Amino acid sequence: MINHLGIIMDWNRRWAKEKMLPVFMWHKAWADNVKKIVTLCQNKGIKYITLWALSTDNLKKRPPEEVEGIIKLINNIESFLWDMLKENLRFETIWNIEELPIESQKILQRVKDNTKNNSWITLVLALVYWWQDEIIRATKKIIRDWLNPDEITKDKFRSYLDTANFPLVDVIVRTGWDIRHSWFLLFDSEYSEYYFTPKKWPEFDEQELDKVIEFFLNSKRNFGK
């Protein structure tokens, strides 16, 4: 069974445009589907789910009103995750949340602190994502620790990454039509399976999740052997 599922939640704005809805309406659809899919994953025995929620480029290049909507959604995370937080969900973030407003950082940290001992399912949000930045930050930590170069193994390097406390990702799903990995969880995806679906994130449902699980269970994983 899948232990750790990663999802690149793409084509939200295009979904809203096709529905002739204001672009910001995808925010609610995004949040609603996060709740639905995380609950489904828990019911199906998946222990970790990492969702790419916001990239560095999203934060810096999207129209101001859209960025404000995304920040508002982040600031309301306790509200839209309330039912799941009561059900023992553990919440985590990876990547550079220091790029977010101070209030957003405080809210995210509070939710992480309040759920750190929960064990229902671990939801990891990838926020302000830029994989090269993670490598740079990890390298700086290694330099500050004065590690002997001969001591730096793959496992040692991974211990300095944001994902160090999570298992390697088994499957990475990308919604929408794009077939590319965009550097998502790149260090942790050496033996990950990739599943690309034309469904946009707000359309990604239980039927499609079941297809992902079936795809994984039918995959022959040799791990380089």
Does residue 95 belong to any structural domain of this protein? yes
pLDDT tens-digit readout, 18-64: 777 776 666 778 888 999 999 999 999 999 999 998 777 777 777 77
CATH of the domain at 34: 3.40.1180.10
Q: Domains in the chain: how many in total?
A: 1
Q: Residue 205 domain-assigned?
A: yes
Per mean pLDDT, which range of 12-26, 176-190, 195-209 is the poorest? 12-26
Contact present, 193 and 17 (Cβ < 8 Å): no
Cα-flanking dihedrals φ and ψ of residue 131, to 5°? -60, -35
Catalytic residues: 10, 58
Give a yes or no: residue 222 inside a domain: no
Could you report the per-residue pLDDT of 189-202, keeping only the tens digit for each?
A: 999 999 999 999 98
Please name which of 172, 156, 176 lies closest in space to residue 164, comparing C-alpha atoms.
156
CA distance 5 to 170: 6
CB-CB contact of 129 with 56 (8 Å): yes
Three-state SS for 90?
strand
Residue 92 lies in a domain: yes
Spatial separation of the C-alpha atoms in residues 188 and 150, rounded to whole Å: 22
Q: What CA–CA distance (Å, rounded) separates 188 from 170? A: 9
- The verdict on pTM exceeding 0.85 is yes
Q: What is the mean pLDDT of residues 108-119?
A: 93
- Provide the strand spans (E) within 34-161: 48-52, 90-94, 122-126
Residue 159, domain member (yes or no): no
* 29 against 137, higher pLDDT: 137
Instruction: Return the closest-CA partner of residue 28 out of 91, 87, 70.
Output: 70
* Domain membership flag for residue 146: no
Strand pairing of 171-175 and 122-126? unpaired
Residue 97 is part of which domain span? 4-130+168-217
The predicted pLDDT at position 4 comes to: 98
- Tell me whether residue 139 is in a domain: no
**Nearest CA-CA partner of 192 in 168, 211, 159:** 168
Q: What is the DSSP letter of 167?
A: P
